[in-house]
Each structure stands twice: as C-alpha cells, then as structure tokens.
Structure 1
C-alpha cells in the first residue's frame, strides 16, 4: 500500500499497466511511504492521556481510540492525523475507507511503539460506507470490514481481530491492539474470507475505558441497565455488606454509605433519602438466579460517578474518578 506516484524521482506510472505497474509500485514503496504518512486532510488532533485513561476522537474520520486507566504510568500524549485516502494506490485485497496516523509519546516526550495494556480502535460506519465499499453489492456482509494496522517491516496491512456492531443502517468496527504509534485504517476485504466477528447483543460495561468480564451479563429493566452488584461494587472500590434479615444492601465508599433493599425502591444515602435527578432511575434491586442486580444509573448518582451509554456498541461507560 503506497501513494500514487506524482513524479517522485522522475518516475511516471500513468502509462504503465498490469504486472509491470505492480512491480514498479512495489519497488518504489520504501521511497514513498514517508510521503503518504504525511497527513493532508486536516490538522492533527492532540489528546492528553492521564492515569485514568481517556478516549481520543478524530471527528473527521468518525474514529476513536479508547485507552484504559494506567495505560501510561503518569501521562502521555496522542496525536491523530488523518491521511488522504485518495493518495493511496488501490490494493486488490482491500478497499481502504479511512486512514489515520497515530503518534504516541510518554510524559518525557519519547516515542511509544507499543502499549502495556491494549487499547480499542473504533471506526463508526453507516449504510453509505457499506454501499461504497461493496460497490453497491449490499448482500455482502459488513463483516468484510476490519481495522488494519500498517506493518512497516512487511510493507503490508496487518488485519487486527475485529468485531462488527451493526443494526442494518449504522454500526461500528472495533479492534483491540497493543500497537501504539503507527497507521490505522478501516479496511474492506475484497478478496479472501478473513471476516470479522459479529458482536452479540449483550450489554458491556467499561470502567475507566476498560471492558469488564461481566458474567452474568447486565440486562435492561424498565429502561434501566441492571448490573451485578458485586462486579460494580468491586470496580467502584466500595465495600459491600449484606443484611439477610432485611434483604438490605449497604455500599460504603469513602465517607458515603448507600443503602438499598431487594424488591423495594427505597434508597438512603448517609441515612437520608437519596435525591436523584430522574425518579425513573429508582428501580428496585432484584435477585436473579442467585445474583443480586442493582440499577447502574442509581448507583452512579449515589456515588457521583459519570455514566454514559453507547447504543451502537451496547456499552455502558463508567468514569470512576
């Protein structure tokens, strides 16, 4: 994958076709790679990563990187620079949809080639992307989309194991990777059968951008996400006490104590009724197959943590700081 030559070294490829063209392109790959890495579509978006993690967005590409807490020991920086796809020579294996150059550096300003903890790379897609990549052959599955990483040593795209979220019109392609600095792309597989995995319908929980292994899984009741009590209490660093005679749950976090009762909508915080911004958030805790579930929105308001919902990837984000 290289840039269309516009006169580098005096070489004109416009009149060369077929295998000869491919060979010449291959020979010039090392020369022009440095040219195509230069972004041409927009200024770089610079993001600071603290010890609690962060999400880094590149709006022009409908892309985001999610880095969990403690990805950097102190702090770091990520520069995201869009790359002009029109400058890339078509690869017969892939249709390249969007490309970004990511430059990671630590608190000392040093280049970071890889991460100790994997990050998630997420490209959002629509039916328009599907139609364009498939050349209107919409019977082809969206699983042909994958996240790719440019392997400079091999001069080729490395397909990252990817998951596809898709509702028929909108979706996302997500991959986890330990790579850091480098070039990432949303690729459409034109040849071969290396299809991405379809994501399930389960609700996911991410605390400080780290996905939890929620087993048993959360579910929705009366429009509210119900989560396993012990899982959430542990990640919020709250002590859990259970009074069986009253079916009462006591959660202690710092100087705050929150009390809930299984089967009752009553909620107390520091011995006073909890005031919430939305009364519909008060859904009674319940026990299902031996697991106690509590409404996440209620717990988040009680302890002052931020909660956000991504309907495309069915992920609940909790910012525990």
Structure 2
C-alpha cells in the first residue's frame, strides 16, 4: 500500500511538471554561435545570427493557446508564442522570427476571400499597455500552397504572433522572392542579384569569395578567375566546365559566365571548395552558408 501511494505521488508530480513546462517549448542560450530553433506546434522558428551578444542570453519560448490571446477586432491571430528573455540589452543584432502558414490559414484569415493580398499577413508584438498588437516590419514568402512570414527583432519577453490585418488601408507586408544569401545566419548583400540557372545558384565571384575571407584575381588574357585562401587555390575559366582546386582538375555542374560585365560562378562549388557548408532554404528563397561544421 505504501509503495502504491509513493507511485501515485511520483506520477502526480511528473504530470504536474509536464503541464507546467510544455514538452514543445524550447529553452536556450543565445551567444556566439548561429542556430535555428523550432516550435513545430506553433509553426514558429527563431534564427539566431553569429555573435549576437558578448553575454549569454537565456531565452525560453512556448506556444500560446487561443484562450490566452486577447481578441482584437483589427487582427486575426493565426498562431502565437510567448517568450521569456534575460539580458536583452546586450544584443548586438536582432534575431529573425519566422511563422509558417498554409492555404487553410490564408483561407480562414481572409474570411474565405483568397483574392485578398497575402501581404495582409505580418508579425506583431503584444503591447500590454495599449492592449493591442504592434506590427513589426515583415516579409512574406508564398508559393501558392504554403508560406512564411519573417521579421527581425531584438527579442524581448512577451507575446509574438502571426497576424492578418483587417485595418482599412493597412500597409501590405513586403513580398519578395529574390534569392538571398546568409553567412552564419547574417544576410550579406550583393550589388547585383544572384540568380538560378539550371538549378544552380550563380553569384558574382568577388562578392562570395571576399565574404568567405578569400582573395580574388582576374586574368584577362585567359578569362580566368583565381581564388586564394590560406594554402588553398581555385582556378576557374569563363565558359569552361572544368576547374582546378589545389592543382587538381575538378568538373563543374555549371561553367562561370559573364553577365553585364560581372563574372558569375556556381555558389555551392566555391563555398564547399573553401570548406564552407551550403544549405538551400526553399521556403524563404535563401542560400545559407555556415563556417560552423
């Protein structure tokens, strides 16, 4: 009987812990290293860029139930999370908040009118004093069946949500499907846009090499690009689907080419030849480069 009672108490404590700390919440420390944290139940991700703070910042995020969200006439709340953050004043960069949505979310939010622009989606932060949502500058990615809304924010404690605005004349969120490049989850901008050719992302060679700490030289007589980093060297020729890496011949999926006076090369080949990992995030049209292997 005594053992049965102890088992009952232990079970009750375990259930209490599971209720008070949801299994789908995440707790982490933001600091030096880039990382992506996910709450699939809320369709939420947080991307933390490299070297965000000189001090460790503890962050806990968990999904919000609908009964915990204060209704507001101007907005439809698709999904929401609650964040608890310490040392917010030490952040040197914002994090990237991403909420995903489906065509059914679009259907519900637009009140069955999918002719309304997808730019009515945006991310907001709940202002407890004003008792309303504060809209964050947001960007929408939509492929016709699923989408992602993202915003950058120096995250703080409180509620964040994916919203649909019913405000008359509300400014639409940016909708942009141009290819973007990130290094350790920090966006790096090019003076000319990358493009995709036959499934390969082509980028201006000087931009990508110099952002990866390499030196670039152009040999006009041979239409050759020479890239140097430490003891490594890469040679590429315009129009030639063969390259040299440290003196060895290597095949290329796509030959370098000159477009509007700029030499474009396949990004994955250059990055991986310089020891950098490459990932393609189709949902936000982004090439993610990582020096953390």
Same fold (TM over 0.5): yes
Q: Which of 182, 186, 209 is residue 210 of structure 1 equivalent to?
A: 186
- Answering whether residue 157 of structure 2 is matched by residue 178 of structure 1, we say no
1:150/1:182 contact within 8 Å kept: yes
3-state SS in 2 of match to 1:71 = coil
Residues in 1 aligned to 2:177 and 2:69: alpha-carbon distance in whole angstroms: 36
Q: CA RMSD in A?
A: 2.2
Greater mean alpha carbon deviation, residues 206-215 or residues 113-122:
113-122
Residue 127 of structure 1, CA deviation: 0.3
Q: Which residue of 1 aligns with 2:11?
A: none
3-state SS in 1 of match to 2:53 = coil
Q: Which residue of 2 aligns with 1:85?
A: 66
- Answering whether residue 263 of structure 2 is matched by residue 292 of structure 1, we say yes
Q: Which of 90, 106, 129 is residue 105 of structure 2 equivalent to?
A: 129
CA pair 100-49 structure 1, distance change in 2 beyond 3 A: same
Aligned 1:178-197 pairs, distance under 5 A = 178-197=154-173
Residue by residue, what CA displacement relative to the aligned partner does 1:194-224 show, whole Å, maximum 9, x if unpaired?
Answer: 2333423321111111112222000111210
Q: Which of 159, 179, 185 is residue 135 of structure 2 equivalent to?
A: 159
CA pair 75-288 structure 1, distance change in 2 beyond 3 A: farther
3-state SS in 1 of match to 2:108 = helix
Residues in 2 aligned to 1:65 and 1:139: alpha-carbon distance in whole angstroms: 30
Residue 41 of structure 1, CA deviation: 6.1
- Answering whether residue 43 of structure 2 is matched by residue 67 of structure 1, we say no
CA pair 294-149 structure 1, distance change in 2 beyond 3 A: same
Residue 84 of structure 1, CA deviation: 0.9
Structure 1: gaps (5+ residues): 1-37, 106-110
Residues in 1 aligned to 2:170 and 2:91: alpha-carbon distance in whole angstroms: 25
Q: Which residue of 1 aligns with 2:4?
A: none
3-state SS in 1 of match to 2:208 = helix
Residue 159 of structure 1, CA deviation: 0.4
3-state SS in 1 of match to 2:181 = strand
3-state SS in 2 of match to 1:117 = coil
TM-score, normalised with respect to structure 1 = 0.78
Q: Which residue of 1 aligns with 2:273?
A: 302
Residue 141 of structure 1, CA deviation: 2.0
3-state SS in 2 of match to 1:158 = strand
Residue 114 of structure 1, CA deviation: 7.1
Q: Which residue of 1 aligns with 2:226?
A: 250
1:114/1:181 contact within 8 Å kept: no
Residue 177 of structure 1, CA deviation: 2.1
TM-score, normalised with respect to structure 2 = 0.85
Residue by residue, what CA displacement relative to the aligned partner does 1:98-141 show, whole Å, maximum 9, x if unpaired?
Answer: 11122334xxxxx3257321222111111011112223222222
Q: Which of 3, 20, 25 is residue 44 of structure 1 equivalent to?
A: 25
Residue by residue, what CA displacement relative to the aligned partner does 1:166-210 show, whole Å, maximum 9, x if unpaired?
Answer: 122111111122343332111111233323334233211111111
Structure 2: gaps (5+ residues): 1-18
Residues in 2 aligned to 1:75 and 1:294: alpha-carbon distance in whole angstroms: 38
